[in-house]
């Protein structure tokens, strides 16, 4: 029985006609190597952004169901075009929508979760020696039968879900950078490509802004033991493998610096200080599908006083979050701040090393960057700062923890990747 390979090509990788043909050649090469091939494609270039803009041109608050109908078209175009290119290369390919491919989701439009993959039609086509192209980032609600989309970056999750359902040997994520780096290479030119990264670290990286892999795709891969191989679609190179921690060997203190400027802060002043209020606030936000990231609340210093609370949400959810909070009326006032950014450092080695947080705060302090909120996990430290300072903060932290490709080479020319790099 031949191996099944799942491949995914991101927006830049299918932007122009030459890009589609390049992706088609990679897909055909995998087929000619004797594999069964399922390829997931994203919308071309900035198509999804453009469709979102078009929606806002005709409506102040586009209906979520119609938004999904609209956004799902982008990836369908890519698949149909790629099928044509593959056909010209002498192979048979069939393009499928998410729904045709059997991606069944819940009904939460624009951020649906995959509930089931009924891949019979794909298996049938693979059995007929066809290459299968699946439109990424979309599915169909099992309940309403409407088209759904999986949230920005969701084609990664489509690919991983198909890899799991088809028992693929690997899920190759082809993108516009050579793999997962120690920081966004667009901000830190000497960022180092990681040859392997653990699921745990990748989850923290994705959740704190490293959009090279969508967070849910990493969760899905970990839960279903899918091997992700993230690599460039423009050049051949080793890329990055995302593996279980036991397989990675490497335990650097700090693996990567990540950032995000796509969050906003909501501050509630004068919150009633009584049991159940926080449950009411965050229960209502969850019911409205608003994902909350950091939360800060201080206990009022004297009895009878009211508390203040801040939390961060994705910028796209800000309007809904404010409406929800105003609707339940638990605070005297609600204010928002969209000019925030977040920088984080991630590293499995942090678990057992004191002093890492101090070094982060000192580094930001030396750059005169004010820290507005802090949150930690055993392998991540995140700071909310003004959005204008994010790029500077990322570079300073990357340097402070000696993560750069140059720094590593200077320290030890060979084998440096497999030992802790920083001792504090």
Taking the CA of residue 125 as centre, how many other CA atoms within 13 Å lie in the half-sphere pointing to its CB? Answer: 22
Task: Copy the structure tokens of residue 96.
Answer: 């499928």
Q: How far is CA 19 from CA 10, 25, 30, 290, in A?
A: 11, 10, 17, 36
Tally helices (H) and strands (E) across the chain.
13, 20
Angle at 230 between CA 225 and CA 234, to 5 degrees: 155
Residue 74: name its binding partner from ligand ADP, ligand ASP, Mg ion, none (Cβ under 5 to 8 Å by kind): ligand ASP
Contact 218, 206 (CB under 8 A): yes
Q: Which is nearer to Mg ion, 112 or 271 (CB)?
A: 112
Q: Does 139 bind ligand ASP (CB under 6 A)?
A: no
Binding mask 32-61 for ligand ASP (x = CB under 6 A): ----------xx----x-------------
Q: Which is nearer to ligand ASP, 156 or 172 (CB)?
A: 156
Q: Which is nearer to ligand ADP, 10 or 341 (CB)?
A: 10
List contacts with ligand ADP (CB under 6 A): 10-13, 42, 153, 175-177, 180-181, 183-186, 210-212, 256
Least CB distance to Mg ion at residue 290 (A): 22
Least CB distance to Mg ion at residue 10 (A): 5
Stretch that binds Mg ion, among 72-80, 146-154, 222-230, 410-418 (CB under 5 A): 146-154
Stretch that binds Mg ion, among 2-10, 81-89, 189-197, 320-328 (CB under 5 A): 2-10
Least CB distance to ligand ASP at residue 155 (A): 3
Q: Which is nearer to ligand ADP, 77 or 322 (CB)?
A: 77
b vs e for 71-89, b when ≥16 Cβ sit within 10 Å of the residue's Cβ? bbbbbbbbbebbbebbeeb
Q: What values do phi and psi take at 167, rounded to 5?
A: 60, 45
Residue with token string 């069964």: 36
- In 224-355, where does DSSP find H-type helix? 245-248, 277-287, 318-328
Say which DSSP state 351 is in. G
Q: Does 11 bind ligand ASP (CB under 6 A)?
A: yes
Q: Which is nearer to ligand ADP, 42 or 97 (CB)?
A: 42
Q: Which is nearer to ligand ASP, 176 or 308 (CB)?
A: 176
Least CB distance to ligand ADP at residue 339 (A): 21
Q: Which is nearer to Mg ion, 153 or 404 (CB)?
A: 153
CA distance 340 to 74: 31
Residue 256: name its binding partner from ligand ADP, Mg ion, ligand ASP, none (Cβ under 5 to 8 Å by kind): ligand ADP
CA distance 204 to 248: 16
Alpha-carbon Rg for the chain in angstroms: 23
CA distance 113 to 360: 35
Residue 177: name its binding partner from ligand ADP, ligand ASP, Mg ion, none (Cβ under 5 to 8 Å by kind): ligand ADP
Q: Does 154 bind ligand ASP (CB under 6 A)?
A: yes
CA distance 305 to 324: 24
Least CB distance to ligand ADP at residue 128 (A): 29
CA distance 30 to 364: 46
Residue with token string 């891969």: 221
Quick one: which of 102, 153, 154, 239 contacts Mg ion (CB under 5 A)? 153
CA distance 255 to 380: 10
Angle between helices 356-366 and 390-400 (to 10 degrees): 130
Stretch that binds ligand ASP, among 28-36, 147-155, 162-170, 316-324 (CB under 6 A): 147-155
Q: Which is nearer to ligand ASP, 74 or 252 (CB)?
A: 74
Q: Which is nearer to ligand ASP, 11 or 349 (CB)?
A: 11
Least CB distance to Mg ion at residue 211 (A): 6
Binding site for Mg ion (CB under 5 A): 10, 153
């Amino acid at each position: 029985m031949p191996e099944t390979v799942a491949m995914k090509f991101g927006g830049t990788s299918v932007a122009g006609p030459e890009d589609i043909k390049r992706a088609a050649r990679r897909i055909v090469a995998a087929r000619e190597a004797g594999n069964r091939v399922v390829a997931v494609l994203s919308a071309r270039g900035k198509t999804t952004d453009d469709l979102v803009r078009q929606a806002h041109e005709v409506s102040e608050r586009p209906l979520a169901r119609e938004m999904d109908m609209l956004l799902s078209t982008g990836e369908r175009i890519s698949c149909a075009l790629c099928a044509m290119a593959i056909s010209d290369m002498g192979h048979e390919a069939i393009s499928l929508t998410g729904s045709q491919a059997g991606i069944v989701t819940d009904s939460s439009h624009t951020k649906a979760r995959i509930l089931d993959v009924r891949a019979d039609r794909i298996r049938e086509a693979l059995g007929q020696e066809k290459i299968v192209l699946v439109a990424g980032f979309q599915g169909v609600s099992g309940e309403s039968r409407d088209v759904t989309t999986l949230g920005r970056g969701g084609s990664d999750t489509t690919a991983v879900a198909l890899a799991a359902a088809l028992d693929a040997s690997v899920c190759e994520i082809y993108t516009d950078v050579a793999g997962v780096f120690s920081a966004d290479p667009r901000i830190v030119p000497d960022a180092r490509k990681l040859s392997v990264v653990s699921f745990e670290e990748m989850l923290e990286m994705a959740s704190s802004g490293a959009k090279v892999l969508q967070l849910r795709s990493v969760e899905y891969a970990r839960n279903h033991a899918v091997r992700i191989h993230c690599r460039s679609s423009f050049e051949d190179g080793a890329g990055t493998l995302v593996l279980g921690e036991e397989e990675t060997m490497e335990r650097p203190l700090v693996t990567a610096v990540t950032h995000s400027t796509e969050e906003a802060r909501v501050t509630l002043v004068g919150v009633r200080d009584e049991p159940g209020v926080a449950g009411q606030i965050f229960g209502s936000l969850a019911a409205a599908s608003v994902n909350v990231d950091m939360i800060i609340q201080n206990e009022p210093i004297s009895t009878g006083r009211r508390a203040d609370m801040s939390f961060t949400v994705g910028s796209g959810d800000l309007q809904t979050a404010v409406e929800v909070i105003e609707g339940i009326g638990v605070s005297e006032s609600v204010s928002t701040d969209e000019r925030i950014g977040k920088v984080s450092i991630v590293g499995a080695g942090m678990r057992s090393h004191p002093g890492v947080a101090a070094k982060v705060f000192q580094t930001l302090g030396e750059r005169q960057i004010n820290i507005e909120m802090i949150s930690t996990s055993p392998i991540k430290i995140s700071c909310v700062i003004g959005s204008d300072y994010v790029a500077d903060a990322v570079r300073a932290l990357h340097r402070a923890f000696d993560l750069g490709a140059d720094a590593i080479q200077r320290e030890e020319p060979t084998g440096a990747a497999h030992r802790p790099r920083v001792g504090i």
